[in-house]
Structure 1
Amino acid sequence: MERTEIRPCRAEDVPLLDRHLPAPGAPARHADRFARQEAGTGTYLLAWRGGEPVGHGQVRWDGCAAPEVRAAVGDCPEFNGLDVRADLRGRGIGTALVRAAEELVRARGGTALGLGVAHANPRAAALYARLGYVPVTAYTDRWSRTDRDGRVHEEADPCAFLVRELSAD
Structure 2
Amino acid sequence: MEIRPCRAEDVPVLDRHIPAPGAPSRHADRFARQEAGAGTYLLAWRDGVPVGHGQVRWDGCAAPEVRAALGDCPELNGLDVWPEGLRGQGIGTALVHAAEELVRERGGTALGLGVARDNPRAAALYARLGYEPVVAYTDRWAWTDAAGRTHACADACTFLVRPLAVRGG
Query: Normalising to structure 2: TM-score of the pair?
Result: 0.97
Of 135, 149, 162, which residue of structure 1 is paired with 2:160? 162
Root mean square deviation, CA, Å? 0.6
Could you list the structure 1 runs, at least 4 aligned residues long, displaced by more than 2 angstroms after superposition. none
Contact 1:136–1:163 (CA under 8 A) maintained in structure 2: yes
Equivalent position amino acid for 1:80 in 2? N
Q: Note the C-alpha offset of 1:163.
A: 0.2
Unaligned runs of 5+ in 2: none
Unaligned runs of 5+ in 1: none
Distance (Å, rounded) in 2 between the aligned partners of 1:21 and 1:148: 18
* Structural mapping, 1:143-162, within 5 Å: 143-162=141-160
Q: Note the C-alpha offset of 1:90.
A: 0.3
Q: Note the C-alpha offset of 1:16.
A: 0.3
Distance (Å, rounded) in 1 between the aligned partners of 2:108 and 2:63: 20
Cα offsets for 1:64-120 (capped at 9, x unmatched): 011110111110000010000111000000000000000000000000000000001
**Partner SS, residue 9 of structure 2:** helix
Contact 1:57–1:83 (CA under 8 A) maintained in structure 2: yes
Q: Note the C-alpha offset of 1:15.
A: 0.3
Aligned residues: 166
In percent, how many aligned pairs have the same letter? Answer: 81
Q: Note the C-alpha offset of 1:147.
A: 1.4
1:132 aligns with 2:164: no
Of 32, 55, 58, which residue of structure 1 is paired with 2:29? 32
Query: Normalising to structure 1: TM-score of the pair?
Result: 0.97
Distance (Å, rounded) in 2 between the aligned partners of 1:5 and 1:137: 33
Distance (Å, rounded) in 1 between the aligned partners of 2:70 and 2:149: 34
Q: Note the C-alpha offset of 1:165.
A: 0.0
Q: Note the C-alpha offset of 1:62.
A: 0.4
1:42 aligns with 2:39: yes
Number of the residue aligned with 2:75: 78
